[in-house]
Amino acid sequence: MNAGGPGALGLETVTKDYAVGLRGVRLRALDRVSLSLDSGEICVLLGPNGSGKSTLLKIAAGLLVPTAGRCLVHGEPAGGREAMRRIGYMPESPVFPGGFTAGECVRHYAALGGAGGAAGVAQADAALAAVGLAEWSGREARTLSKGLTQRLALALALVHDPQVLLLDEPTAGVDPRATADMLELLVRLRAAGKTVVVALHQLDQAAELAGRVVLLQSGRMKFAGAWAQFLGPVAAATGSVQSLLAGLRGRYLELLDAAEGEGGAR
């Protein structure tokens, strides 16, 4: 991973301090983090709660300004109009307001991104179809299940066809089937040339994506490299672990499908 070079996303010795409490005590959320990603790469951010994953994503999305260092999206400073057009951001566990259907939500964000009228409708329909939500577009967004809500949030991130996707725990609280769908979708997006940066907690999900890994702790980058490097000495066992995980998921889905079949037969 090259530090600071031009690419889809580049962080150059980024530091972020938060002022906490009435006295404004400084809390360092990110400490001189450098990272460079090219188009078509998946980068998995791993680390315990409070390690700085969300802060890193928010800085890349232009929502937070770094205390030191800089962040570039396709060479443009994060937070600027041009950079905003190129990124799609999915926050952690968003909640949608009442009274809007899923389709209306996506059309609203398409219009905010500058695509109104027929173009906006076409973009919204494409985004809904991409995340497999087309048949749910008429359903009120607030009543969607957690998995479908996460998919809707991803559709909002995708609606203006960005080149860089920043996803904050897209599988949090989602059942195994919806998780598998989400991970498969991320792999498809990478194949379509998108750069995907995703914060995760589950190592098995990171294994499935098998992209670049950035491990953060207390704002410091503890590891940055390819998945194979991350595995290190346990690489030899990877085949069996991955096949075990894949087998478990397969068994789970098989049982679910069997139960559905029996339910339908009754």
**Among 97-105, 169-177, 217-225, 243-251, the segment contacting another protein (CB under 8 A):** 97-105
Question: Between helices 176-191 and 235-265, what is the axis angle to 10°?
Answer: 120
**98 part of the interface to another protein, by CB under 8 A:** yes
Number of Cβ atoms within 10 Å of the Cβ of 21:
7
CB of 107 to another protein, least distance (A): 10
Among 25, 68, 95, 235, binds another protein (CB under 8 A): 95
Nearer to another protein, 100 or 227 (CB): 100
Residue ranges of E strands in the chain: 9-20, 25-37, 42-46, 68-73, 76-77, 87-90, 164-168, 195-199, 212-217, 220-226
CB of 253 to another protein, least distance (A): 31
- Listed in sequence order, the residues at least 6 apart from 233 whose beta carbon sits closer than 8 Å to its beta carbon are none
Among 160, 190, 194, 212, binds another protein (CB under 8 A): 160
Nearer to another protein, 100 or 223 (CB): 100
Nearer to another protein, 78 or 207 (CB): 78
Residues 44-73 that bind another protein (CB under 8 A): 58, 61-64
Q: Total number of residues binding another protein (CB under 8 A)? A: 34
- Listed in sequence order, the residues at least 6 apart from 239 whose beta carbon sits closer than 8 Å to its beta carbon are none
**27 part of the interface to another protein, by CB under 8 A:** no
**214 part of the interface to another protein, by CB under 8 A:** no
Residue with tokens 């989602």: 174
Among 48, 75, 77, 116, binds another protein (CB under 8 A): 116
Q: Give the chain's radius of gyration (CA, Å).
A: 19
**111 part of the interface to another protein, by CB under 8 A:** yes
- CA–CA distance, 169 with 56 (Å, rounded to integer): 13
Among 75, 114, 176, 225, binds another protein (CB under 8 A): 114
**18 part of the interface to another protein, by CB under 8 A:** yes
Number of Cβ atoms within 10 Å of the Cβ of 169:
21
**Among 87-95, 143-151, 238-246, 247-255, the segment contacting another protein (CB under 8 A):** 87-95
- CA–CA distance, 132 with 93 (Å, rounded to integer): 19
Nearer to another protein, 98 or 264 (CB): 98
- CA–CA distance, 120 with 127 (Å, rounded to integer): 10
Among 7, 47, 66, 91, binds another protein (CB under 8 A): 91
CB of 13 to another protein, least distance (A): 20
User: What is the sign of the dihedral through the CA atoms of 79, 85, 89 and 95?
Assistant: positive
223, β-bridge pairs: 215
The residue ranges that bind another protein (CB under 8 A) are 18-19, 58, 61-64, 81, 84-85, 87-89, 91-100, 108-109, 111-114, 116, 153, 156-157, 160
